[in-house]
A and B are shown apart, each in its own frame.
Chain A
Amino acid sequence: MTARRLAAVWLTALAAGIIVAFSEVRTAQGLSVVALLAVLWGLNALLGARLGQGSMVYVDTAMALSSVVLFSSTVVVSSFLVGAGAGILLNGRDQSSLGYRLAQVARKSILVLAVAPLGALVRGQASGQLDTLSLQAALVGLGLLYAIADLLTDALAESVRNRTSVADEFIRLARPVVAIYMGHVSTGAVIVLLFPTMGYVGLVAMMALVLMMQNSFNLLLRIRTAYHETVSALVLAAEMQTPSESGHAKRVADLATAVGRRLGFRSSELERLGYAALLHDIGRIGTESDGDAAQQSHAQVGADIVEQIPFVSSAAPIVRAHELDAEVLFGMADSNIAVAALLVKVASRLDCMLRSAPDIKPAELLESEVFSDMRQGAAGSRILRQFVQVSDDWTPECIRPSCEES
């Protein structure tokens, strides 16, 4: 509710302030242009994408690119503050604090102001003798510049908030939205190219396409999250039968994917690894048996189950392989599956050891003879080093079973 109230105050104060301050906006035409742009900025911000871990990415390159080229910076920034400001403050899916959202608005308005002179330069050239192909290249270039600056500063803000490295945040934020950014850049260029003949109709039509694109993307993110949360919840439910196991799968998944990310897994590989780690014990859950023979078969049983489940079935080979000896895995041809299986193996063993001996440091455990089989191959040693790094960054409590309950 506070966000709503703040947004209302924000809107009225800004709109009034802008009208008083700029004579350019005070004419009927100026006002209607600002109002139209503000509506588009606002809709665009309301359809911002919520990535994993709750970060919101407000992709607005199409609006930024086209408006800085077509309109004066006064019009652009005032419409941005009114529209995007209200949109970001009102976005119900954004779970960050009001302060962080205000900082987002400030960051983006500075960015828009910074590219405005470049936009004016392109505008000057466009009315002059720039041929259409060079104009298109200039527009795409300017759009890419804005997109990269936007992502970089966003990653900077996130890295300050989450105390992580800027590069990691940049990759995490950029990876899922690259296609959306490309769509924005080219639509922004199209809007500029169409403006002389189609005017505001073209602007609105192209923005409708962008909004459609963002809406589909949000639906996609939503269903992906739904899958992940559902599978995690069901695994947690299955673990409740043996309380000592509770949370094991999730911790293994967190640890294995953190290491996988450092080893340069692509996002589809990371997703598959995550599901394999979550489901690696699904063949054992609910059955009380131990010993080597049973271990081998639980991986088999688990893989057979995972194979039956659409969406996660690609994780089955990893589940099947995770109980093979490290030596066998070192020699396996399909290296990504083998590496993923090794990650699950190490993470699972580490979590079990930490549960039985909570006072040992993870790094010590990783260097002890518990993992001597892993040091037989170069790949294994490399993986262990990454585990040591990750568990250094990690507050030890987070891999301990106790933190799941709190």
Chain B
Amino acid sequence: MSLRVKVYFGFLVGALALLLLVFPWPEFPWSAWPAILLLMILSVLAESMAFDLPVGGTVSLTFALYIAGLLYAGPLPAAAMTVVGAVPPQDFRDHKPIFRMAFNVVMLSLSMLVAGALFTTLGGVPLVSTDSGAPLVPSMAIPFVVAVLAMNLLNTALFSLVVALSSGVSILSVWRDQNLAAYLISFTVLALLGFGMAQLINVAGWSGAALMVVPFAVARQTFQVYRQLSDTYSETIRSFVAAIEAKDTYTRGHSERVAQYTHIIASEMGFKGRSVERIVYAALLHDVGKIGVRRGLLTKPTALTSAEFDEVRMHPEDGCKILGSVEFLQDIVPIVRAHHERVDGGGYPDGIGGLDIPYEARMLAVADAYDAMTSSRPYRAALARDAALSELESVAGSQLDAELVAALVSGLSQESTEAVQ
């Protein structure tokens, strides 16, 4: 823990105490205790169900609950909710450092108190002290929106500041990684939900809030399982392919290495996220058609007869047939099909050349060729790295795409300098 972070923490605690003591808070609505208690329990549950949005950062459903607490019961109960919600049970289970948990509590409750102060100053009145069932007053809209925005922006700012302070990354780069549009959409939806929930407690009591929990929980649960499954998908393909390949000394680890090289080329060419993932899938599965080729052929120490060679040349098409039955992998089928095409048009199965070969297939071809050269075969020994790279450069422009060969060369050399350091 650096001194800077400690000073920052002290500053936050001071601000929190000052705000609590100085501001004229509306009274704590003790009579509404069942609803407040329910909201607290829900925020513990929802926080322990927090999920990552694809936009980055965990915008958990608790945010909607805090907003509901603020609008329904006022700033102090809402701040109490944030204290409870900021330390979910699994933090204790995982033995998170006490200091970090305290940090979370302080940041979150400070954001909530600032938002609550703004809400009160702008004339916002908690629903619990208004006439229940009365239609909404439009004048509530401004304090509500301002409070929600303030709460969210402040919390994000405080959080990215602590990330910047402790990791040494500049605060701007923390913010740059956020996808603003998607963030705003999820934020708006959560704010609306919080608004609805406050209304619901107001008109229907705590049982109304319980009704609202069901769709929340279902949405969260399904999304969570989806995330887990999609995260382990490539792992599954990887281990499966490795298991099938393991029986053959000459292909063992081939697909995995080709996936690594393809990844290097793709990053050199500026591919990111989903498109890298797609190429890696294609690389892992590019030889799936070869599994079907008779075992003897691939390990044969002598030259193949032309009939045998034709059989081997079928494997990109066989791969397409196999992968064609997997809807999820439709977009990698053309890549697998074309990974033995040559830029000069002399490859197989379609004999297409140049730009007609999908870009990703050309990357795959470079990676595949490099791995073939650097691993041993029944009929020849493995080439050393530099020899393989100059061999690659000699076929650049005829067999392989010259630009992508250059990308692999520079990517590999970067990697080895990093390894030396």
Contact = CB atoms under 8 A, between A and B. Distances in A.
B133 A196 contact: yes
B326 A230 contact: yes
A186 B215 contact: yes
Given A180-B218, A198-B136, A225-B328, A310 B200 contact: no
A308 B240 CA distance: 8
Interface in A255-288: 282, 285-287
A133 B215 contact: no
B182 interface: no
Contacts of A133: 205, 207
Contacts of A165: none
A75 to B, nearest CB: 22
Interface residues of B, number: 58
B222 A220 contact: yes
Contact of B192 (A205, A238, A308): A205
A190 B196 contact: yes
A387 B318 CA distance: 35
Contacts of B322: 233-234, 236-237
A309 interface: yes
Contacts of B323: 233
Contacts of A241: 291-292, 294-295
Interface stretch (B117-125, B228-236, B302-310): B228-236
B212 A186 contact: yes
B413 interface: no
A238 B235 CA distance: 18
A237 B292 contact: yes
Contact of B239 (A201, A206, A308): A308
Interface in A306-339: 308-312
A356 interface: no
A244 to B, nearest CB: 13
A197 B233 contact: no
B226 interface: yes
B208 interface: yes
Interface string B281-292: 000000011011
B195 interface: yes
Interface stretch (A12-20, A108-116, A211-219): A211-219
A237 B289 contact: yes
A213 B325 contact: no
B202 to A, nearest CB: 8
Nearest to A132: B204
Nearest to A308: B239
Contact of B208 (A187, A193, A234): A193
B327 A229 contact: yes
Contacts of A153: none
10 contacts: A179-B222, A180-B218, A189-B211, A193-B200, A193-B204, A222-B328, A230-B326, A240-B318, A286-B247, A311-B233
Given A197-B133, A209-B193, A226-B328, 18 more contacts: A132-B203, A179-B221, A183-B219, A198-B195, A201-B192, A205-B192, A210-B215, A213-B215, A223-B229, A229-B325, A230-B237, A241-B295, A286-B244, A286-B295, A309-B243, A310-B232, A310-B239, A311-B229
Interface of A: 132-133, 136, 140, 179-180, 182-187, 189-190, 193-194, 196-198, 201-202, 205-206, 208-210, 212-213, 216-217, 219-220, 222-227, 229-234, 236-238, 240-241, 282, 285-287, 305, 308-312
Closest 5 interchain pairs by CB? A240-B292, A226-B328, A213-B219, A183-B215, A216-B223
